[in-house]
Structure 1
Amino acid sequence: MSLAAEIELGRGSFELSVEFHVPAGSVLAILGPNGSGKSSILGSLSGLLSPRRARVRLAGRVLHDDSVDLPAHDRAIGLLSQDPLLFPHLSALDNVGFAPRSRGATRQRSREIAVKWLTEVDALELADRKPSQLSGGQAQRVAVARALAGEPDLLLLDEPFAALDVDSAPAIRGLLRRVLRAQSERSTVLVTHDPLDALALADHVLVLANGQVVEYGPTREVLSAPRTAFTARIAGLNLITGVAAEAGLRTPDGLLIAGIPAEDVVLDEAAVAVFAPSAVAVYTEGHPGSPRNTADAVVSSLEPHGPVIRLRASGEGWANGLTADLTPGAVAELGLEPGTPITLSIKATSVAVHPAATLAP
């Protein structure tokens, strides 16, 4: 069931203005910093908020326009949040069966649907347990089954893994990926702060800033070539702003960052240079060769980041805030600690230059 939405909403001094389309059977991930408007979009789609102006169509039905504003219970929308919100007095089976039961199914039919979906999410053995007897991951499995048992045309996922531990989250993420891919008609909107969620589940990504869309496109394209600082940060990449130059990017203080321009870069227009922390070499005494991008800095922090140590630098100009990934052995060999003077070096071939995202008018 495809979704087409244009939403304008004002709350105090905050203004939201977005437009997007989610084809049937696909998943759109919405990313953005706190206060950017993610929750307002979900509230407007679900019917829990009343936008100032909106045109929302789902599966050919008008949910909201100048003359229509369907209540939440008539929108055929399922919601899964970070809190499972299971009824504490009902068993897992009855929690899942509540959705079809509320849509008019008989008690017997509701139980059949509940068994089907508990089986689908590998939780049938939990059918007789109350929510207090479930772990966080188990409760979220039941919540997934309940959200889907109502056969919604649109599924809204609001940070569904945020409250799970590191062992449960990957399992539930994999479960949702399998279930969503098996549904060829239902469209899904996912709000998340984790790029892994978007990469694992979403076909497209929409990035919000200050209530407006600043990036939109296929998930891997957006996260591998970010055009805003926020997107670069969640994708784990370094980003430097400036204007496009023939050989790369010219920073606001006039320095040139050598790199490879994308095809859509326009000279002298706003652009960003993007490169991975693994592309940043760190030296304490000079550096071999003659890389074109070098800058002096000091170590600001060192933090474990999976199998590597992520170094964050502070300094003047474009070096400030850059990150570099080093092995623990390299950190020890160089004697790095906060305050250590360093030289950062990035090969031009590791730097991609893209047009900078701008706020929609």
Structure 2
Amino acid sequence: MMLRAEIELTRGAFELTVDFEVPAGTVLAILGPNGSGKSSLLGSLSGLLRPRRARIFFGDKELHDLPPHARSIGLLSQDPLLFPHLSVVDNVAFAPRSKGAGRAGSREVARRWLAEVDAMEFADRKPAQLSGGQAQRVAVARALAGEPDLLLLDEPMAALDVDAAPAIRGLLRRVLGANKDRATVLVTHDPLDALALADHVLVLSGGQVVERGPTREVLAAPRTAFTARIAGLNLIAGTAVEDGLRTEDGRLIAGLRTADATLGEPAVAVFAPSSVAVYPVEDGRPGSPRNIIATSVAALEPHGPVIRLRTDAGLAADLTPAAVADLRLEPGIAVRLDIKATTVTVYPAAASPSPTTTLNGDASRHG
């Protein structure tokens, strides 16, 4: 069994054109900036939007001409959307009841799913008596209690606090992995959601698919600025050349080309913030072959045990708090970024890349 979708949708001046497949038992994550078409895609799958052209199948079953209630779809959004006048158990029982099950049977199904999501203790409470994380557990149970063929997850962790989100993410990982007959489509901005839950990712930009593939492969080797940003990597666009990449303004970024990066074709140079060394701009110390970029500090942000320095060149570097103090870094301070060529990988660019980094400094290869 497999979900297969071809969707063409027009909303005003916006056009969405997308096709994809999701084998049963797997999760596809949809990534993309605001306005890229993620919500339009989910609306088309659920039947809440009517595309100008759509072919949507789950196995041999045609979904595109069916009304929303007949598509066997479960929806979980960032808002639990629980009925305030019903108890928790009756909220969950609503799903099988809406498919024709009796009251007693529906409550039995509801209790089974509440136990599955570790929420049985809340069965007799009203939604107003639940925390955000507890309410989202109940919403997960309700989405699954109807035994849907297709599960749509729309930013399910976005409204949760930092303590509740990991628990719900772990819960979803467990329940999604337990069913091999259901296909799941997840919309998220969080790379942790994609890495923890999704087998494959599809990246949208301007209504078009610009990247797709296995989750870890796409996030480890992004081809667009948006994907690089959510993966926590630096990306510079240009053209593949023998020694790496040539930017639009003629600057050379030295790096190692992958086998599929064709000379003279659009490409992107990708490297981690941890591979970027930061020096005072007047520091003239020589070094091994590297890329040198003169820029200034735009922001300093805590990032786990390190400080992430963001620059006016659109690039980031990770430094220890001690290094930030020693260099007396603060917004507006001129700095020099050094990136060894061996830490830069040059990949083919996506066919329709999103806006990419433009260097606002002097970049050249030395050594």
After superposition, the C-alpha distances for 1:49-107 in whole angstroms (9 at most, x for unaligned) are 0000010001320011xxxx100000000000000000001111110011011111111
Helix, strand or coil at the partner of 2:63: strand
Q: Which amino acid aligns with 2:254?
A: A
Q: Which amino acid aligns with 2:315?
A: L
1:327 to 307, 320, 328: 320
Which moves more between the two structures, 109-118 or 141-150? 109-118
Q: Does 1:150 align with 2:146?
A: yes
Alignment correspondent of 1:182: 178
Alignment correspondent of 2:20: 20
1:343 to 329, 336, 342: 336
After superposition, the C-alpha distances for 1:277-327 in whole angstroms (9 at most, x for unaligned) are 11100011234522321121111111111211111112xxxxx11100101
Alignment correspondent of 1:310: 308
- 8 A contact 1:242–1:271 mirrored in 2: yes
- 8 A contact 1:291–1:345 mirrored in 2: no
1:281 to 277, 299, 311: 277
Alignment correspondent of 1:141: 137
- 8 A contact 1:312–1:321 mirrored in 2: yes
Q: Does 1:207 align with 2:197?
A: no
CA distance in 1, matches of 2:270, 2:181: 36
CA distance in 2, matches of 1:224, 1:286: 33
User: TM-score normalised to the size of structure 2?
Assistant: 0.94
CA distance in 1, matches of 2:96, 2:294: 63
Output aligned runs, 1:1-361, within 5 Å: 1-64=1-64, 69-284=65-280, 285-287=283-285, 289-314=287-312, 320-359=313-352
CA distance in 2, matches of 1:349, 1:359: 27
Q: Which amino acid aligns with 1:39?
A: S
Alignment correspondent of 2:360: none
- 8 A contact 1:25–1:181 mirrored in 2: yes
Please report how far the alpha carbon of residue 255 of structure 1 lies from its aligned counterpart in structure 2 after TM superposition: 1.6
Helix, strand or coil at the partner of 1:8: strand
User: TM-score normalised to the size of structure 1?
Assistant: 0.96
CA distance in 2, matches of 1:102, 1:292: 63
- 8 A contact 1:241–1:272 mirrored in 2: yes
Large movers: runs of 4+ above 6 Å: none
Please report how far the alpha carbon of residue 185 of structure 1 lies from its aligned counterpart in structure 2 after TM superposition: 1.1
Q: Which amino acid aligns with 1:324?
A: A
- 8 A contact 1:286–1:343 mirrored in 2: no
CA distance in 2, matches of 1:124, 1:277: 44
Which moves more between the two structures, 340-349 or 117-126? 340-349
Which moves more between the two structures, 258-267 or 143-152? 258-267
Gaps of 5+ in 2: 354-367
CA distance in 2, matches of 1:326, 1:238: 15
Q: Which amino acid aligns with 1:80?
A: L
Q: Which amino acid aligns with 1:193?
A: H
Q: Which amino acid aligns with 1:45?
A: L
CA distance in 2, matches of 1:188, 1:261: 35
Helix, strand or coil at the partner of 2:142: helix
Please report how far the alpha carbon of residue 258 of structure 1 lies from its aligned counterpart in structure 2 after TM superposition: 1.1
Gaps of 5+ in 1: 315-319
